[in-house]
Amino acid sequence: MFIFITRRLLATIPVLLMVAVFVFLLLRLTPGDPAAVIAGENANAQQIEEIREKLGLRKPLVTQFAIWIGNVLQGDLGVSFFYKKTVAELIGERLEPTLMLSLCTMLIAILVAIPLGVLAAYKHGTWIDRVTMAFSVAGFSVPVFVIGYLLIYVFAIELGWLPVQGYGRLAQGLPNFIERIVLPSATLSVIYIALIARITRASVLEVLGEDYIRTARAKGLTEVKILRRHALRNAAVPIVTVIGIGIALLIGGAIVTESVFNIPGLGRLVVDAVLARDFPIIQAVILVFSVAYVLVNLVIDLAYTLFDPRIRY
């Protein structure tokens, strides 16, 4: 197992390196002078020259990459010319809303999708199963922002229960935070629920046919206990894997949801950066999201080996 963990950790390095190379090349792919692109459209010749010097743009590409990655590893992600702040500072400010939105979404999705998926598998072939499956196909087909505006229209405009837009920082009190996070999280959770409910159903359905389920039933366990202790536990590995892979979906959805609900998070930051062609921000946000995605999946993979004694590599 130790060998597996080491190998898995080592395998992450080339992936992260590839991401870094891509993010680095992003600027060099743009037509024109990277220094001028970084500086933005309102920069003067001196500013452009400073950037050229700082990035070492006259040096060979490999050296440039080494300088850049060295800076990144020290937490220096460059300076945004639009906001006149360091990118690291900007990301620090914008991290909380995105993180909270993602965590709340995940919480809602797991609490709804797993019981739903288990129920659909248990009631295989009935209307409950069909409705769940129909929902999970539909959840993949409706864009996040349409769901968002639909929920805003019903719960904020027509019923007036919740605020239309905005984000309440945790520091400003929990009630305000919860009131403002409910709609965005519910919006974003739809596609995630669809994904998790689908795999939960498939995975539990497979396990329900096993002999030990029959044994459990024969020894008189209640159906709830059978489902929770025997079926769901044994079906957990694919479910957790999909939750991990689904984070890519979650990140994409968060970018859109933040725009719909006017949440000042990383997604909003990157969209504004694209409109302003503020490349240091675009690069940094891709880096942050991708590294988070890779690391979460790494942790999930490692967690299997620790928690599921059947898995041996």
Q: Which of 102, 270, 280, 301 binds another protein (CB under 8 A)?
A: 270
Q: Which stretch binds another protein (CB under 8 A): 9-17, 64-72, 182-190, 222-230?
A: 9-17
Alpha-carbon gap, residue 20 to 127, rounded angstroms: 48
CB < 8 Å & 24+ apart, contacts of 236-240: 236/203, 236/308, 237/304, 237/308, 237/311, 238/199, 238/202, 238/203, 239/114, 239/117, 239/196, 239/199, 239/200, 239/203, 240/300, 240/303, 240/304
Q: Which of 9, 274, 299, 311 binds another protein (CB under 8 A)?
A: 274
Cα gap 80→38, rounded to integer Å? 8
- Residue 118 interacting with another protein (CB under 8 A): no
Of the residues 3, 46, 141, 220, which one makes contact with another protein according to CB under 8 A = 141
- Our finding on whether 81 is near another protein (CB under 8 A) is no
* Residue 5 or 202 with smaller CB distance to another protein: 202
Q: Is 131 in the site for another protein (CB under 8 A)?
A: no
Ramachandran assignment for 262, one of left (phi > 0), alpha (psi -120 to 50 degrees), beta (any other): left
Stretch that binds another protein, among 17-25, 60-68, 169-177, 226-234 (CB under 8 A): 17-25
Looking at beta carbons only, is 108 or 285 nearer to another protein? 285
Q: Which is nearer to another protein, 178 or 296 (CB)?
A: 296
Residues numbered 28 to 57 that lie near another protein (CB under 8 A) are 29-30
Contacts of 93 (CB under 8 A, 6+ apart): 264
Out of 18, 107, 170, 306, name the contact with another protein by CB under 8 A. 18
CB of 215 to another protein, least distance (A): 24
Q: Does residue 263 belong to the site contacting another protein (CB under 8 A)?
A: no
Residue 204 burial class via C-beta count within 10 angstroms: exposed 0-12, middle 13-18, buried 19 and up: buried
Q: How far is CA 37 from the centre of its chain?
A: 28
Closest to another protein by CB, 216 or 256: 256
Packing angle of the helix pair 247-260, 236-245 (nearest 10 deg) = 50
CB nearer to another protein: pick between 216 and 288:
288
Among 91, 113, 144, 240, indicate the residue that binds another protein (CB under 8 A).
144
- Half-sphere exposure of residue 163, counting CA atoms within 13 Å on the CB side? 14
Q: Is 17 in the site for another protein (CB under 8 A)?
A: yes
Give Cα 108 to chain centroid, integer Å. 14
Angle between helices 174-208 and 87-122 (to 10 degrees): 40
The stretch near another protein (CB under 8 A) out of 79-87, 123-131, 151-159, 176-184 is 151-159
